[in-house]
Homo-oligomer: A and B are copies of this chain.
Amino acid sequence: MAEKLTSAANEAVKAAVRLRDSARFRRESGRFFLEGARLCADAAGSGCTPAQVFYTLEAAERYADYLAVLLPSARRACEIAGPVAEKLADTHTPQGVFGVFEIPPSGGETEPPGGAWLALENIQDPGNLGAISRTAEALGVRGVVLSGCCDRYNPKAQRAAMGSLLRLNLIGTDDLPSLLTRCAQRGFRTYASVPDAGALGVTQADFSGDVLVVIGNEGSGITRRTRETCTGLITIPMGGRAESLNANSAAAILIWEMMRGRVK
């Protein structure tokens, strides 16, 4: 029998809310919070240990399949009352399933070994970080380098990522230019994507072999040092009004062009 939780003032509930809202608390405690039956099941399936799972009685019936995946590996499972679910929920139409997971240890790789890579520099919106990761995974990008971005364990980033931030090969760095230099020395083409009409159009660029495309901050783009370190500058030629692609649409087109020759 699962433990029952009826008070939103319970310590476990308060800790889960802090994990939801504070990147610092996530870092300090080595845990993160997710909302949603499928997302929680995906996280468990990707090797993240569920420290706690919270679910309403209604959700236990409706999402029995996902909970069957999730609960066996959960250290603690709590059936929660409506007010507790309301306290935990961060979405408009909550499903009543929530989980606290252990942040997995960093993967072995610290440098892109080869293939087609993306690097995200200073992406600040969690929704953008998630959506770009989702596109990268869908199109078969080998891995993503993260430099100065918002916290990947932010619940909004995780929701937009649909699990991809937990499955993708991710490398974090606080010195992107040095990483790019080392990649270039090992034969990578490294492209900075910029809005300059004078840069090489993406349809002209060579994305074969070992290649890495850098996408910069939503407003200010790629930093000067990173831009100067890349082996080339690329841009999306536009037939319409310039500078009016949003961050996700531009990223989707860049990733697609990088992968275009690798898919049929």
A164 at the interface (CB under 8 A from B): yes
Given the complex of chains A and B, what is the CA–CA distance between A259 and B236 in angstroms? 12
In A214-264, the 8 Å CB interface with B consists of 236-242, 244-246, 248-253, 256, 259-260, 262-264
Given contacts A248-B249, A252-B252, A253-B252, contact A240 B138 (CB under 8 A): yes
Q: Is the CB of A245 within 8 A of B201?
A: no
A135 at the interface (CB under 8 A from B): yes
A7 at the interface (CB under 8 A from B): no
Q: Is the CB of B131 within 8 A of A246?
A: yes
Given contacts A249-B248, A249-B249, A252-B249, contact A139 B240 (CB under 8 A): yes
With both beta carbons as reference points, the residue of chain B lying nearest to A257 in the complex is identified as: B256
A26 at the interface (CB under 8 A from B): no
Q: Is the CB of A241 within 8 A of B203?
A: no
A8 at the interface (CB under 8 A from B): no
A162 at the interface (CB under 8 A from B): yes
Given the complex of chains A and B, what is the CA–CA distance between A260 and B134 in angstroms? 23
Give the number of times this chain occurs in the complex, counting copies.
Answer: 2
Count contacts on A: residues with CB < 8 A to the other chain: 36
Q: How far is the CB of A200 from chain B (nearest CB, A)?
A: 11
Q: Is the CB of B244 within 8 A of A259?
A: no
Given the complex of chains A and B, what is the CA–CA distance between A256 and B202 in angstroms? 11
Q: Is the CB of A135 within 8 A of B263?
A: no
Query: Cβ of A238: which chain B residues have Cβ within 8 Å of it?
Result: 138-140, 263
Given the complex of chains A and B, what is the CA–CA distance between A240 and B141 in angstroms? 7
Query: Cβ of A236: which chain B residues have Cβ within 8 Å of it?
Result: 256
Q: Is the CB of B240 within 8 A of A140?
A: yes
Query: Cβ of A263: which chain B residues have Cβ within 8 Å of it?
Result: 201, 203, 237-239
Interchain residue pairs A-B with the least CB separation, the first 4: A140-B239, A140-B240, A249-B252, A252-B252
* 24 A-B pairs with C-beta separation under 8 A: A131-B248, A134-B245, A134-B249, A135-B246, A136-B240, A137-B241, A138-B238, A138-B244, A138-B249, A139-B239, A139-B240, A140-B240, A164-B241, A201-B263, A203-B264, A237-B263, A237-B264, A239-B262, A248-B248, A248-B249, A249-B249, A250-B252, A252-B252, A252-B253
Given contacts A131-B249, A248-B249, A253-B256, could you give 10 more A-B pairs where the C-beta distance is less than 8 Å?
A135-B245, A138-B240, A138-B249, A139-B238, A139-B240, A140-B239, A162-B246, A238-B263, A248-B252, A252-B253
